[in-house]
Amino acid sequence: MRVGFLQYSPVFGDKKGNLERVEEMLSGEKNALIVLPELCFTGYVFKDREELDTLAEEAVGPTVEYLTPIVKDNNLFLVFGMAERVGERLYNSSCLLSPEGEIKIYRKAHLFNKEKSFFTPGDTGFPVFDVTIGSNQVKVGLLVCFDWIFPEPWRILALKGAQIIAHSTNLVLPYCQDAMITRAIENRVFIITTNRMGEEREVTFTGRSQVVRPDGKILIRVGEESQGVWTVECDPLEAQNKMVTERNDIFQDRRKDLYRIEVK
């Protein structure tokens, strides 16, 4: 099946313009799972919670309404980050939009730095969603940016059967892209890490979006300043094989009897 990512530099606060740019960049892409960056239509560097509140919207709102005909007409599954409003709460969310217009939500569990002043920590847990593209029936998990540094959500998604983990990011630290090689190997899953590029309010993002195979091989990685859409073929069934050697299964060999700890 075809998977990939869209790396670009959103204009802060210009949701309409960013949606139009993404639509143009997606032109010609069909029958694929494509991952966009974290908060990819609003921008990321908010001055305060009030500014974030003016840009947040409910999950089923103007952004999804704009994107729905695009994914429907081109048989795309689109993963994108958004500032989601739920009552008085604001979440840093990842959305999976299907060609049928169905929306699935994951809310970022691990907030990074100043995000703690603006967003509510996620309450969705770590769900896995079913995606069907052509003859491929695939289980997809969603994570957002700083979730990368915690091994637990990756293992939980893998144990729930995720074959592909779509990881929308706005990375500023230099470590994540290389760390994803380890995350892929230790869970035997495909990982699509989509970062933004450019600078926003004196914050510089690291680009280097990539797709990593279950064996840690990088199928594709772009540059720090690259803009565009890149896709690659992958076989999600590779993520079903959890064997490291002919006698070592990474799930069956876990010593759960030794993993219990008491934290005081």
Specify whether the CB–CB gap between 179 and 149 falls below 8 A: yes
The Cα 175–Cα 228 span in angstroms is: 23
- In this structure, what token pair is assigned to residue 138? 């695939």
The Cα 78–Cα 66 span in angstroms is: 12
Q: How far is CA 65 from CA 68, 71, 104, 106, in A?
A: 5, 11, 14, 19
**53 contact partners, CB below 8 Å, separation of at least 6:** 85, 90
What phi, psi does 23 have (nearest 5°)? -60, -45
- In this structure, what token pair is assigned to residue 9? 């530099």
Residues identified as active-site: 38, 108, 145
